[in-house]
């Protein structure tokens, strides 16, 4: 009888491990699909805020509860097989333009402290960081995005405003490389 009990316990323990593994896989799938996802920065369009090959966590749930705000760093579907990461500059109803290297939203200058390093580099080259454009009116259900590295960014200046239904989520924090862990702001 003890062999039968031992065999039964082994089967129960195996079944418990299988159930636990199944639950873990299901939870991981649900979390990645609906809440958070990893994203790898490709390219230099968000320098000096984010760097090529950094890995970050994208909050996919936040925009089910609220709309993107000016200053948010978002990931969106730019092409069928490629996502971009950019900064929200203007939201629905806003008018956006750049005159004399100054970003204007609704006719008011916008302070962009995250561009300080890039402005220094552009000044060394003797060029404006952002060439004049606009004014552009952002439509309902859209946002206007720019990369922080304005000299090297394929963004709303080229592809137009982004439909909200193409937004994947908001970049929350960089987790790789470990020496660079920080909030994505």
What are the Cα distances from residue 71, in Å, to 9, 87, 114, 122?
Answer: 57, 6, 10, 21
Active-site hit among 60, 81, 86, 108: 86
Q: Do residues 97 and 134 make contact, with C-beta atoms less than 8 angstroms apart?
A: yes
For residue 119, the tally of other CB atoms under 10 A from its CB is 15
CB 85 within 8 A of CB 73: yes
- Could you confirm whether 156 is annotated as catalytic? no
User: Which residue in 45, 60, 153, 156 is the catalytic one?
Assistant: 45
Is 11 an annotated catalytic residue? no
Distant-in-sequence, close-in-space partners of 45: CB < 8 Å, separation ≥ 6: 84, 85, 86, 147, 148, 149, 152, 153, 154, 155
* Residues acting as catalytic residues: 45, 86
């Amino acid at each position: 009888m003890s062999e039968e009990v031992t065999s039964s316990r082994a089967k129960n323990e195996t079944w418990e491990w299988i159930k636990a593994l199944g639950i873990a896989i299901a939870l991981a799938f649900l979390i990645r699909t609906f809440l958070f996802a990893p994203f790898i920065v490709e390219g230099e369009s968000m320098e000096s805020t984010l760097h090529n090959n950094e890995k970050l966590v994208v909050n996919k749930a936040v925009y089910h509860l609220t709309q993107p705000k000016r200053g948010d760093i978002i990931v969106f579907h730019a092409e069928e097989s490629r996502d971009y990461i950019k900064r929200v500059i203007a939201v629905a109803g806003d008018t956006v333009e750049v005159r004399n290297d100054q970003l204007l939203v609704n006719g008011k200058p916008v302070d962009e402290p995250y561009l300080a390093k890039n402005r220094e580099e552009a000044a060394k080259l003797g060029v404006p960081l952002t060439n004049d454009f606009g004014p552009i009116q952002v439509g309902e259900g859209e946002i206007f995005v720019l990369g922080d590295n304005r000299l090297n960014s394929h963004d709303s200046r080229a592809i137009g405003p982004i439909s909200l239904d193409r937004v994947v989520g908001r970049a929350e924090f960089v987790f790789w490389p470990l020496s660079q862990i920080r909030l994505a702001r």
